Amino acid sequence: MKYLAVLLTVSIALFAYPIDSYLVQLKKEAIAKDANFKGFDANRGKEIFTSKHIGKRGKKISCASCHTNNLLNYGENIFTGKKIKPLSPKANPKRLTDIKKVKKWLRRNFKDVYKREGTPQEKGDVLLYILNN
């Protein structure tokens, strides 16, 4: 019984944050695509976030074009001029708590910048980068 309690505590701790279970799900999807998948990498995530690509409306943009290079700062939607609250959960505790919202915006924003959806590995990498900043 004691062990069961320990096991339960460990798994509750692991899944206390919805973003953690989403990362576990992305990891499973990444392994299904590539058996050699080694884990998510915040440095790759930074590259995904900051590198520029011909995206929406033929403009050369990156994720940072709207969210800036400092995730603690406010950003601005370059297409609408609307302010965007900081992306880092350190500056904005609501960030990465609503997985439905995270999925929706990752889908949209990858299309804005990369003109395609992100792969499970790319999404995990970039989320890890955001969580670390």
Cβ closest to ligand HEC, residue 6 vs residue 54: 54
Strand partners, 60: 54
State in angstroms the smallest separation of the CB of 81 from ligand HEC. 11
3-class DSSP state of 108 = helix
Cβ closest to ligand HEC, residue 11 vs residue 104: 104
Exposed / middle / buried, residue 47 (Cβ in 10 Å: 0-12, 13-18, 19+)? middle
Strand partners, 83: 76
Site for ligand HEC in 52-111 (CB under 6 A): 61, 63, 65-67, 77-79, 84-85, 95-96, 101-102, 105-106, 109-110
3-class DSSP state of 83 = strand
Cβ closest to ligand HEC, residue 11 vs residue 51: 51
Token pair for 126: 């970039």
Binding interface with ligand HEC (CB under 6 A)? 49, 61, 63, 65-67, 77-79, 84-85, 95-96, 101-102, 105-106, 109-110, 112-113, 126
